[in-house]
Chains A and B, each alone.
Chain A
Amino acid sequence: MPYLVKKRQLVIPGELIAEGDYKSGKNTYREEDRVYASLIGLANYVGRNVFVVAIKTCYMPTVSDLVIGKVIDMKLSGWTVDINAPYNAMLFTSEFFDRSFDSRRDRMTDFLDIGDMVLAQVIAFDRTRDPLLTMRESGLRKITQGRVIEMTPAKIPRIIGREGSMVNMLKRETGCQITIGQNGLVLVSGKNPELEDLAILAINTIERDAHTLGLTDKISKLLKREKKERGLNVEAKRR
């Protein structure tokens, strides 16, 4: 008799999710006609596709992801960037400069040095080689202002919200620029440190309560309250 777990039931690795004619989706595996969870999370299904939404994951790079990374090494061909993934990424000089890199005129460290943080995009990744990044698209740049917060990548969708509802609300209420890296890092850049603190408080709260209902409203109320208590004005000029 076909078995199927309840929607949004908490499952742990090795737990039976479905038996019968079901497809083994994300974070599950199949043995004969049974599908089991391989990570701890909430089981769900769409049609005959059974999957688990993980509570905690490590970041696996996907082509076209926006990521925030830190330069940790340098070779003649480019920079090695830590993108909070099991594999370090490569940013070739050809993917940084709009023109070709001339080793006589251009010094790599003038542009990116070890320790710099960057906003980049994943352009290639497969199991046989390390992820490749580019910084040539518009908006991609070395990060020079703001603060970077780290969380488990599994919670990033919550920071974004349905069709961006959460992150847009955050930007509105704090007046900060919020750039979200798919790799679990979020860049917050505000007009002053107090507004940045506020945005960070909101983001930490979202991470903690990621699975509650009506979160966008709750966070919006929290921000309004805190702004009043701290006497903050989003329209204030940059100090």
Chain B
Amino acid sequence: MKRKEDEKLIDKKGLRLDGRRLDEIRPIKIEVGFLEKANGSAYVEWGKNKILVAVYGPREVHPRHLTLTHRALFRCRYHMAPFSTEERKHPAPSRREVELSKVIRSALEPVVFTELYPRTGVDAFIEVLESDGGTRCAGITATSLALVDAGIPLKGLVAACAAGKIDGEVVLDLDGIEDQKGEADLPVAIAPRRNEVTLLQMDGIFSYDEFKKALGLAVEGCKRIHDMQKEALRRKYTIVKEENGMIDEEV
């Protein structure tokens, strides 16, 4: 496919349209505990993406017939606001939102200690307020934090980041334009403690070598995201550490 000069996504200096290098992640801002009503919440700004996540639970399951006897039912709902995209999105859930809800749940469920709360439900609600490529990765990253904020026991955090291919080059963290016009998109989530991949999807075309490079880059990106998650949590609860006078709990 012939590309006009002004349709290039990477310029002659090796910089992308927004000035980033090939392995650079967009600027990210994280706020834990943003909402009052939810048991746990997190707000993430990732480039132009704005994602708000709330976690409720453990609590009674509605409808009741979905209750599981030996563990908690973990549900995720990924949903986009009508004003979150360039063209207004109809509020009703689309097939894409249904699929993303499912893969996000699968990415996080492996780290949740659901066996500790049988016959209850843990619900995560992911609302995309503004979207610019990579919302499922931002959603997973934020939901991890919201689960911690809600006091749900976890094996560890899950961090997500996507790699892809644009103008024939393997790059990290595609934004909206790059996702649209690029040649491949590879969102990945890992549970960093044991480097286990919990989300893996791809669309586009990769050779084996390109895929290997992209996967490595994405996992590297996830690790950086994980550092940011830890920093955000420490920041929120650091007043605890500084004023070191907590009561000892008898065990």
Contact = CB atoms under 8 A, between A and B. Distances in A.
Tell me, yes or no, whether A and B come into direct contact in the complex with CB atoms closer than 8 A: yes
Interface of A: 8-10, 12-15, 25-27, 29, 36, 38-40, 42, 44, 46, 49, 51, 53-58, 86-88, 127-128, 152, 154, 157-158, 161-162, 209-215
Nearest to B226: A14
Contact of B154 (A38, A42, A58, A158): A38
12 contacts: A9-B241, A12-B157, A14-B111, A14-B157, A36-B156, A38-B153, A38-B154, A56-B151, A58-B58, A86-B120, A210-B246, A212-B243
A185 to B, nearest CB: 16
B151 A213 contact: no
A205 to B, nearest CB: 14
B238 interface: yes
Pick the 6 closest A-B CB pairs, nearest first.
A14-B156, A213-B245, A86-B58, A13-B154, A56-B151, A38-B153
Given A10-B240, A42-B240, A213-B245, A86 B155 contact: no
A53 B239 CA distance: 15
B117 interface: yes
B113 interface: yes
Interface string B91-121: 0000000000000000000010100011110
A87 B119 contact: yes
Interface centre among A14, A29, A36, A128 (most CB of B within 10 A): A14
Given A36-B155, A38-B113, A56-B151, A8 B237 contact: no
Summarize B's interface: helix, strand, loop or mixed: loop
Given A36-B156, A157-B249, A54 B243 contact: no
Contact of B249 (A9, A38, A53, A88): A53
A44 B117 contact: no
Interface of B: 39-40, 57-60, 111, 113, 117-120, 148-151, 153-157, 191-193, 230, 233-234, 237-241, 243-249, 251
Interface centre among B57, B58, B230, B248 (most CB of A within 10 A): B248
A12 B233 contact: yes
Majority secondary structure of chain A interface residues (helix, strand, loop or mixed)? loop
Given A14-B154, A25-B251, A57-B151, A42 B246 contact: yes
Given A12-B230, A88-B60, 18 more contacts: A14-B156, A15-B156, A25-B251, A36-B156, A38-B113, A38-B154, A40-B148, A40-B151, A42-B246, A55-B237, A56-B151, A58-B58, A86-B57, A157-B247, A157-B249, A209-B243, A211-B243, A214-B245
Nearest to B149: A56
A98 to B, nearest CB: 31
Contacts of B113: 29, 38
A5 B119 CA distance: 34
B243 A213 contact: yes
B245 A211 contact: yes
Contacts of A54: 151
B243 A49 contact: no
B234 A10 contact: yes
Contact of A56 (B59, B117, B150, B245): B150
A157 B246 CA distance: 10
A8 B72 CA distance: 30
Nearest to B246: A211
A64 to B, nearest CB: 16
A212 B234 CA distance: 17
A127 B210 CA distance: 49
B233 A8 contact: no
A97 to B, nearest CB: 27
Contacts of A58: 39, 58, 151
Contacts of A39: 148, 151, 153-154
